[in-house]
Structure 1
Amino acid sequence: MKNSTLKLPAMIVLYLLISSISGQAQAHFLLNLNVRIFHIEHTASGANLYMRVPMPYLLADKTALGRDPYTGKLPQPAPYTKNSLNQGDLVHYVDFQQLELAPLGLGNIAESAIFLRNTDMQIKGDVKAVRLYRIGSEPDFATLEEAQQAFLKQYLPEDTNQRLYVGDTLVDIQIYYPLEAPLGEYQLSSSLNPGLPNQEDTANLVLDYNPGRTQVFRSRGLMQDPLLITHSSIDAVKTFLAEGIAHILKGLDHVLFVLCLSLGALSLPLLLWRATGFTIGHSITLSAGFFGFVPTVSWFVPMVETGIALSIIYMAWISLHREDTKITGSESTIFIGTCMLGLLHGLGFSFVLHEILQVDSPNIWQSLLAFNLGVEAGQVLIILAIWPLAYLARLWKKEWEIRIRYSVAGLCSAIAFIWTLDRGYELVSAIF
């Protein structure tokens, strides 16, 4: 019984170690995160939906994966695309000729899969316009005015003589929903399921422009479950609170840092004091990073990620020597240290948030504050889960608590050390 009790925490963290080795080491910058934006404009006779979506979300499930094993022929391409081989690999290009013949075709695919429901009644939409852009050349799309201006651009990219990968293409679509009465509360959902890697982390931003009130909602994933759009600021804030909580709970590096932070404090007041220092630090850089007050040089990204990995090792070291102030320093020194480490983690939070919002998005401070509070709530949840267990173990048998603490801190350090090597290599490569 004793051995199995002691092995359980080690087995859990060992699983995390294996997962971290097989996953992405750069947690914030290599997210494979796709963003879909929905602007809903209310009018006297209906509603306009302006959406921006990566082209693979519309077509990835409509083509075969490879060549016929018997004939060697390429599979039937998805609508409005062409298949080709590139060094033996199947690639998909935009078919401009098909699109010129059916300029609203991609919009019709989107309209059939985007569901707008008012009082449990699905509203049929009418596709008004479609625009295609090569990623990097797309116009801004953060506000309603920018979304409307995007449809004043030409239909297809200027360089139609050059091949355009489907994966490098953004599609803007305008759909009009006629209504007999003003649109009140409604549900927005999507049946698109392209089967893309990490599509469960898709960032959806819904901006609702009801006369006199603009609300910004956030949803993660494919939106197969309807998102309720109301006129309540509280409901809008809740979606960003949930995103902040999800970010810290799904970010293994943040979880390990708070885990070691919890194990490294002798009392709950000291733990809360240190957590406050961490909060102060990351709140500063979350805002600064989001608004672009950070360097843009190539080495900055891996430097921050390497620093986050090292912060876990430092906090694990603190937890191993928590009783010896000669080694760890005074509580004021540790507080300053957690503030500094919070600065690093705050940058990580801001990079994810910047994928979701733009600086000129409506209600930006409301959304930013809600996301930050969600991060804090996620941090508190980890502390509430870890601290009572550690405290009870110390009361029950101090030797057990010491063994558990050393096992957990050691394995957390091992994970962070692997990240440090991987991210450090990226840093050196970026510098030289």
Structure 2
Amino acid sequence: MRIIINVVLILTVLFGHAGIARAHFAQGTKLRTILIAPHEESLTAYVRAPLPLVFSDVVTSAQASSQALDTPFLYFEETGAGGRYRLSMEAIAADESAFRERLERALSWSQNGREIAARIVAMRVHPRMPADSFDSREAAEAAIAGASSGIDPVFGEAYVDFAVSLSPPDAAGPVAVRSAYPPLPIPDGVTIDNHIIDSRGDVPVSYTRPGQLEQPAVIDTSLWRTVGEFVWQGVLHIVEGLDHVFLVICLALGIGARGRLLWIVTAFTLGHSVTLVATFLGATPSWPWFIPAVEAAIAATVLYAAVAALMGRMDSILLIAGVGLLHGLGFSFVLGDLLGRDAPNLVPALAAFNIGIEIGQLMIIAATLLAVAFATRLSASLTPVLRAATLAGIAVVSAWWVVERSATLVA
């Protein structure tokens, strides 16, 4: 009994803080879109970026020196909730060439290791991330064609669209892009994803790269790159999603290395595949409370799985398929941010992401069963105790998640 209590306490300490901050609808996700398209004998790159990314050198310098942001384009203001910076549209109008040069230098372009010169041809500032699409040349040009914000946008909320002309030696060949400024200090709970689209071919291809592009991302017309990237994203999502990991561990511990485990996992897979696809077909509601409710329900399914495994009642294939339906919604929230529901290569990206999820599930199941086998070799009598302690710890943590995530529904 003491062993069970100790393991439960350890699990609670390790994972008790992985609550709503690790939910799938990460409100702090910032998306940068980079699209390249042919233009006569050269290329045009269209970029939609959070404004702080094009001032990351200023921010990092200010942080290192503990000084204010040193640029004429930003000014500080005090509010009732504290201080914040705004972008000065008047300063941009007074020295537009300097602001354009900052945008022009934000990204570094190369081909076969040789730098490609970039010349800015258009720009537009938005007070927040625009709702219109930016996944084709026509959409990007329409988004940039309008007038910039008439007010001074809040620095942390503003976005900028801009287009640069590129003249690589081979306009049809792979082009690499990376950030030319130092990485921005990112607050807890905020992530950055880069949606990269190549529309030079008959069928546009796209993939997503997390982070600030400290390392170059290659843009080419290879559909296999899209497939490979989204398989990897699927693996990462389930491996890094603690609620999904816990659920799969509960399935493995509740059933063990028996043939029925295959049927249960297949039911879960079919369930989440249905809702993952249905969400991208527009079959889910857009009510503001819907996503938080799904996240709370996902936490409840982990609690159910842990209790059912403890009681030896992990038998209902139909019920596990229903659990899969909820988890599929969670997967779709992430993929929607990564891919965009109007993006090219939607079908292969969906399929690749789903394959990645299955690979991740199999990895977790294999690791769990190997751990059980190893523990059994060490001490057959201790294995049931460790199994019960692990499931009890998962139950405690998931119960806390239910409470924490449910609180967002009434906040």
State the match for 2:137 in structure 1. Answer: 144
How far, CA to CA, are the matches of 2:353 and 2:86 in structure 1?
Answer: 37
Give the 3 Å change call, closer, same or farther, for CA 279–79 of structure 1 in structure 2. Answer: farther
Unaligned runs of 5+ in 2: none
1:19 aligns with one of 13, 17, 20: 17
The unaligned stretches of length 5 or more in structure 1 are 69-73, 323-327
Cα 1:403–1:91, aligned 2, differ >3 Å: closer, same or farther? same
Between the aligned partners of 1:189 and 1:10, the Cα distance in structure 2 is 44
Aligned to 2:166: 177
Contact 1:208 1:216 (C-alpha < 8 Å) held by counterparts: yes
Judged with a 3 Å threshold, the aligned counterparts in structure 2 of structure 1 residues 36 and 106 are, in CA distance, closer, same or farther, namely: farther
Equivalent residue, structure 2, for 1:390: 372
Q: CA 1:88–1:14 in structure 2 vs 1: closer, same or farther (change >3 Å)?
A: closer
Matched, 1:309 2:305: no
* Structure 2 equivalent of residue 164 of structure 1: 153
SS of residue paired to 1:184: coil
The size of the alignment, in residue pairs, is: 407
Residue among 202, 205, 210 paired with 2:195:
205
Does the Cα contact within 8 Å between 1:285 and 1:344 map onto a contact in 2?
Answer: yes
CA distances 1:65-115 after superposition (whole Å, capped 9, x unpaired):
6998xxxxx935544111111137221111011111233544422332312
Instruction: Decide whether the 8 Å contact of 2:129 with 2:158 is kept in 1.
Output: no
Once the two structures are superposed, the pairs formed by residues 159-308 of structure 1 within 5 Å of their partners are 159-160=150-151, 163-192=152-181, 193-197=183-187, 201-308=191-298
Q: % of aligned pairs identical? A: 27
The amino acid of 2:228's aligned partner reads K
Deviation at 1:419, TM superposition (A): 0.8
Q: Does 1:85 align with 2:67?
A: no
* Amino acid in structure 2 at the alignment position of 1:175: V
Shift of 1:13: 2.8
Choose which of 104, 108, 114 in structure 2 pairs with 1:121: 114
User: Matched residues in 2 for 1:94 and 1:340: separation?
Assistant: 48
> Kindly tell me: are residues 397 and 203 of structure 1, through their superposed partners in 2, closer, same or farther at Cα, counting changes over 3 Å?
same
The alpha carbon displacement at 1:305 in A equals: 1.2
2:402 to 420, 425, 430: 420
Q: Hey, what does 1:100 align to over in structure 2? A: 93
Residue 388 of structure 1, CA deviation: 1.8
Contact 1:56 1:166 in 2 (8 A): yes
Pick which of 348-357 and 187-196 moved more: 187-196
Task: Give deviations 1:37-63, integer Å, cap 9, x for gaps.
Answer: 010113342211001001111225514
Confirm or deny: 8 A CA contact 1:304 1:347 kept in the other structure.
yes
Q: Is the 8 A contact 1:80 1:98 kept in 2?
A: yes
Counterpart for residue 344 of structure 2? 362
Alignment of 1:327-346 (within 5 A): 328=313, 331=315, 334-346=316-328
Matching residue's letter, 1:189: R
From 334, 358, 376, the equivalent of 1:376 is: 358
Q: Could you say what secondary structure the match of 2:23 adopts?
A: coil
Distance 1:137 1:200 in 2: 19
Shift in alpha-carbon separation, 1:314–1:243, aligned structure 2, 3 A: same
Does the alignment pair 1:402 with 2:402?
Answer: no
Letter aligned with residue 238 of structure 2? I
**Alignment pair present for 1:49 and 2:67:** no
2:28 aligned residue: 32
For residues 134 and 292 of structure 1, the distance between their equivalents in structure 2, rounded to whole angstroms, comes to 28
Any conservation in 1 of the 2:111–2:168 contact (CA below 8 Å)? no
Letter in 2 for 1:221: G
Output the TM-score relative to the length of structure 1: 0.86
Contact 2:50/2:129 (<8 A) preserved: no
Counterpart amino acid of residue 145 in structure 1: E
Give TM-score, length-normalised by structure 2: 0.90
Helix, strand or coil: the match of 2:145? coil
**For each residue in 1:230-269, what CA deviation from the matched residue of structure 2 results, as whole angstroms up to 9, or x when unmatched?**
3322122111111111111111111111111111113242
Q: Which residue of 1 aligns with 2:125?
A: 132
Q: Name the CA distance, whole Å, in 1 between partners of 2:76 and 2:375.
A: 61
Superposed displacement of residue 398, structure 1: 3.4
Matched letter for residue 165 of structure 2: Y
Distance 1:67 1:110, change over 3 A: closer
- 1:201 is paired with a residue of what secondary structure? strand
Taking the aligned partners of 2:121 and 2:21, their CA distance within structure 1 comes to 43
| Paired residue type of 1:293 | A
CA distance in 1, matches of 2:99, 2:186: 18
The alpha-carbon distance between structure 1 residues 276 and 383, as it changes in their structure 2 partners (threshold 3 A), is same
Measured in 2, the distance between the counterparts of 1:136 and 1:234 equals: 30
Alpha-carbon spacing, 1:266–1:138, altered in 2? closer, same or farther (3 Å): closer
Structure 1 245/107 Cα, relative in aligned 2: closer, same or farther at 3 Å? Answer: farther
In structure 1, what is the equivalent of residue 311 of structure 2?
321
CA distance in 2, matches of 1:79, 1:276: 58
Shift of 1:270: 1.9
Distance 1:286 1:222 in 2: 27
Change (3 A) 1:106 1:405: farther
Distance 1:87 1:209, change over 3 A: same
Residue 381 of structure 1 aligns with an amino acid whose one-letter code is M
Q: In the TM superposition, what is the alpha-carbon distance from 1:8 to its structure 2 partner? A: 9.7
Deviation of 1:229 (Å): 2.7
Instruction: Note the C-alpha offset of 1:391.
Output: 3.2
